[in-house]
């Protein structure tokens, strides 16, 4: 079984969020199941250099006025296809935006990626490789299933994965031609979306199967509170929709092997305590008698970080501490910095993106907070489980599917792996942190909770089987 996975980011080459982790991990998780998955991403500045030895496998001499080439290289055991179009992908800034905001030609940049993906899927590449399935991730790849639908699929089936419905690739309807869509794509059952075009919508409408990254989010997506306008379309495609949880790549995230930390297992939790002490020292905090909570997150409305302002005073008064790493909306960054100023002994904040620090935090924290208003899957709560850093999560999306909240019954059955709360507001979060603190103080309970969390299965084994089964059923 051959699968071409198309996305705008993939670990370890380029990452802005969990999408990259998942796209980067899938090929390795699928290989033992006999699925040969290649990953196709844009060749942003530096990508070809990171790949090293590359070979040209496809070219188009006039895609958006550019000479565009597809290079094949490897990272670890994964074959990566990098779409080289310097005019489109070499920019000062991130993959989607620079200092002036989103790049004006994002629709065309990712249409080019999707076009090249559909072409090589349909016709095969220079090295003879041709996939059975094209797997498109998020709005950036949403046009790829559409191109297969309109211009011939060559027998290739398509899967469209929703990592986050909040990003829909909405652009002006006048771009239909520029996005290489035929005029009949301008229809509410295809690309037309309230007078605009949505590249996610068209991918959802025209792919053979749809997946999203947790079973709970799959159900939520059909409701107006979560579907963000696409709930109706998704409901009509319910029969083709599959909720498949993400996993954790344990070559990257494992407390037993992690090169950034003092390693530990559930039998050597004294070593975890060394990581805690080091983290407190790194952030210049004083004594933290209660639980030390960590947050590693994009700072956006989705992530519910603003709810902390209501919950923190009580948590700190009860002896808790907080270390936060993230970047995003400036009002949230400012609020975090001023909390650190108010409680310098108990709260430490680092604005920015820091892979190594995120590992030290996961090892050194007692708890990881994920108070998201919605969360398709979420990865940091799963890292928390693996690292015995008890997740405190809003009961939504993948958070709901990965954490078993502590109640008298779940604790009695030794099933609890964290603390969950609902509704998703500041009061419920404050109550959850109070529960966390009392669990932490109860020495007859806490070590068991930590060890139980570490036993939770957050591997790719089950999810990889589910993807392999889906690919198999489509290819039949």
CA 274/CA 285 separation, integer angstroms: 15
Secondary structure class of 279 (helix, strand, coil): helix
Long-range contacts of 71-76 (CB under 8 A, 24+ apart): 71/43, 72/125, 72/127, 73/48, 75/12, 75/13, 75/50, 75/51, 76/28
Binding residue count for ligand GLC, defined by CB under 6 A:
14
Question: Could you please report the per-residue DSSP string of 349-370?
Answer: EEES--HHHHHHHHHH-SEEEE
Q: Is 327 in the site for ligand ADP (CB under 6 A)?
A: yes
Pick between residue 204 and residue 296 the one whose CB is nearest to ligand ADP: 296
CA 369/CA 287 separation, integer angstroms: 20
Pick between residue 163 and residue 346 the one whose CB is nearest to ligand GLC: 163
Among ligand ADP, ligand GLC, none, what does residue 355 contact (CB within 5–8 Å per kind)?
Answer: ligand ADP
Residue 186 beta carbon to ligand ADP: minimum distance, rounded to whole angstroms: 32
Task: Figure out which of the listed residues 78, 114, 158, 246 binds ligand GLC, where binding follows CB under 6 A.
Answer: 246
Cβ-proximal residue to ligand GLC, closest one: 18
Phi and psi at residue 115, to the nearest 5°: -65, -50
Phi-psi region of 65 (alpha: psi -120 to 50; beta: other; left: phi over 0): left
Residue 375 beta carbon to ligand ADP: minimum distance, rounded to whole angstroms: 7
Site track 5-24 with ligand GLC (rule: CB under 6 A), x = hit = ------------xxx--x--
Pick between residue 288 and residue 361 the one whose CB is nearest to ligand ADP: 361
- Pick the stretch among 180-188, 294-302, 387-395, 428-436 that binds ligand ADP (CB under 6 A): 294-302
Cβ-proximal residue to ligand ADP, closest one: 18
174 CB contacts (<8 Å, ≥6 apart)?
none
466 CB contacts (<8 Å, ≥6 apart)?
242, 244
Residue 333 beta carbon to ligand GLC: minimum distance, rounded to whole angstroms: 19
Site track 374-413 with ligand GLC (rule: CB under 6 A), x = hit = -xxxxx------------------x---------------
CA 438/CA 131 separation, integer angstroms: 53
- Pick the stretch among 60-68, 91-99, 291-299, 437-445 that binds ligand ADP (CB under 6 A): 291-299
Pick between residue 300 and residue 407 the one whose CB is nearest to ligand ADP: 300
The tokens for 265 are 């297992």
Secondary structure class of 268 (helix, strand, coil): coil
Residue 398 beta carbon to ligand ADP: minimum distance, rounded to whole angstroms: 8
Burial of 10 (0-12, 13-18, 19+ CB in 10 A): buried
- Pick the stretch among 100-108, 220-228, 325-333, 422-430 that binds ligand ADP (CB under 6 A): 325-333
Contact 56, 69 (CB under 8 A): yes
Q: What is the chain's length?
A: 476
Residue 404 beta carbon to ligand GLC: minimum distance, rounded to whole angstroms: 18
Contact 22, 213 (CB under 8 A): yes
- The DSSP symbol for 135 reads E
Residue 36 beta carbon to ligand GLC: minimum distance, rounded to whole angstroms: 22
Pick between residue 168 and residue 380 the one whose CB is nearest to ligand ADP: 380
Contact 137, 111 (CB under 8 A): no
Secondary structure class of 171 (helix, strand, coil): strand
* Binding positions for ligand GLC, 163-192, rule CB under 6 A: 163-164
* Binding positions for ligand ADP, 334-373, rule CB under 6 A: 353-355, 358
Which residues lie near ligand GLC (CB under 6 A)?
A: 17-19, 22, 163-164, 213, 246, 375-379, 398
């Amino acid at each position: 079984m051959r699968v071409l996975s198309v996305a705008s980011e993939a670990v370890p080459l380029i990452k802005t969020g969990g999408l990259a982790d998942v796209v980067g991990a899938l090929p390795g998780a699928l290989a033992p199941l006999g699925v040969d998955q290649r990953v196709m991403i844009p060749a942003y500045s530096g990508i070809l250099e990171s790949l090293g030895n590359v070979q040209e496998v496809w070219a188009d001499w006039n895609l958006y006025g550019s000479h565009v080439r597809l290079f094949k290289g490897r990272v670890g055991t994964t074959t990566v296809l990098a779409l080289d179009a310097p005019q489109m992908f070499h920019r000062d800034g991130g993959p989607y935006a620079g200092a002036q905001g989103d790049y004006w030609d994002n629709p065309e940049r990712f249409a080019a990626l999707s076009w090249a993906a559909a072409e090589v899927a349909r016709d095969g590449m220079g090295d003879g490789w041709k996939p059975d399935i094209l797997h498109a991730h998020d709005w950036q790849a949403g046009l790829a299933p559409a191109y297969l639908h309109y211009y011939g699929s060559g027998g290739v089936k398509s899967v469209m994965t929703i990592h986050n419905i909040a990003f829909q690739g909405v652009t002006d309807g006048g771009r239909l031609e520029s996005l290489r869509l035929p005029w009949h794509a301008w229809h509410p059952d295809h690309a037309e979306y309230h007078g605009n075009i949505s590249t996610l919508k068209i991918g959802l409408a025209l792919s053979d199967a749809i997946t999203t990254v947790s079973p709970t989010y799959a159900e939520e997506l059909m409701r107006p509170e979560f579907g963000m306008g696409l709930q109706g379309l998704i409901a009509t495609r319910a029969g083709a929709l599959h909720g498949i949880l993400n996993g954790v790549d344990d070559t990257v995230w494992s407390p037993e092997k992690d090169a950034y930390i003092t390693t530990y297992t559930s039998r050597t939790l004294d070593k975890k305590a060394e990581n805690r002490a080091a983290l407190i020292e790194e952030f210049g905090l004083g004594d933290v008698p209660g639980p030390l909570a960590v947050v590693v997150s994009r700072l956006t409305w989705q992530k519910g970080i603003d709810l902390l302002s209501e919950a923190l005073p009580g948590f700190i008064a009860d002896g808790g501490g907080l270390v936060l790493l993230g970047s995003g909306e400036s009002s949230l960054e400012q609020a975090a910095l001023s909390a650190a100023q108010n409680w310098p002994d108990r709260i430490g904040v680092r604005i920015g993106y820091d892979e190594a620090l995120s590992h030290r935090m996961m090892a050194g924290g007692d708890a990881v907070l994920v108070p998201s208003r919605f969360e398709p899957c979420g990865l940091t709560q799963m890292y928390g489980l693996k690292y015995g850093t008890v997740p405190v999560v809003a009961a939504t999306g993948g958070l709901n599917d990965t954490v078993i909240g502590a109640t008298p019954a779940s604790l009695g059955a030794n099933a609890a792996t964290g603390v969950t709360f609902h509704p998703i507001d500041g009061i419920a979060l404050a109550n959850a942190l109070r529960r966390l603190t009392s669990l932490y103080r109860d020495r007859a309970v806490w070590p068991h909770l930590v060890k139980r969390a570490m036993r939770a299965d957050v591997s790719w084994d089950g999810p990889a089987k589910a993807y392999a089964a889906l690919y198999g059923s489509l290819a039949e």
